[in-house]
Amino acid sequence: MQKCDSYSETRTAAIGFGAYRGREAPSRYAYAWFHSSASLANGTHSIAFFSADIDNRKQTVKFSLNVGPPACPAPASPGIIVCAPTEGATVGRPIAVQASATPDGSFARMEIWVDGVKEYTQTTTPYLDARVPAPPGPHRLDIFVVNTLGTTWHSGVNVTAQ
């Protein structure tokens, strides 16, 4: 008796953002991975993913994506604005933090510290929309933005987690 391993070959492509965005090479496994990123302007964008199996059966997934301005607008001059939570607020857990920054020079990272312990770091954009763990009780949240030269801007709030 001869053993035969079966598999399917899959191809995946995406069309969106007004242009063809790329294609993954055929895969001999049950899964195909597609990785692509793009900066999008504010507005509604149509996205479509197409996949074809080894026997050329096509599957399509289409959806719309709405891109809007950040929920927390950046300050006009170098600095940081914490939009949530506000000073003295009673908050749920994990604690939701929203902040925006305008660093002088090139952006390097934003950090959230809870009671003197760094809980979150982001290096992609000067906008934060994150959740950080904290036990019930009073806490100090410090949010930092750092530019590539190491200059730091800081803002902090005191909150009570329920």
- The answer to whether 10 touches 52, Cβ cutoff 8 Å, is yes
Integer CA distances (angstroms), 120 to 22, 78, 131, 135, 142, in order: 33, 21, 8, 16, 11
What is the model's pLDDT at position 62? Answer: 84
Task: Give the global pTM.
Answer: 0.60
Integer CA distances (angstroms), 140 to 14, 85, 87, 109, in order: 44, 11, 10, 20
Length of the chain: 162
Q: Quick one: tokens of 3?
A: 């053993």
What is the model's pLDDT at position 45? Answer: 79
Sequential pLDDT tens for the chain (162 residues): 333 333 333 444 444 444 444 555 555 555 555 666 777 777 777 887 777 777 778 888 888 877 776 678 899 999 999 999 999 999 999 999 999 999 999 999 999 999 999 999 999 999 999 999 999 999 999 999 999 999 999 999 999 999
List, edge to edge, every strand of the sheet that includes 10-16: 19-27, 10-16, 43-52, 58-67
| Helices (H), ranges, the chain | none
Q: Quick one: tokens of 107?
A: 């952006």
Burial of 141 (0-12, 13-18, 19+ CB in 10 A): buried
SS3 for 113?
A: strand
What is the model's pLDDT at position 17? Answer: 45
C-alpha torsion angle, residues 65, 68, 72, 74 (rounded to 10):
130
Rounded Cα distance, 34 and 103, in Å: 33
For 104, how many CA atoms within 13 A lie in the half-sphere containing its CB?
8
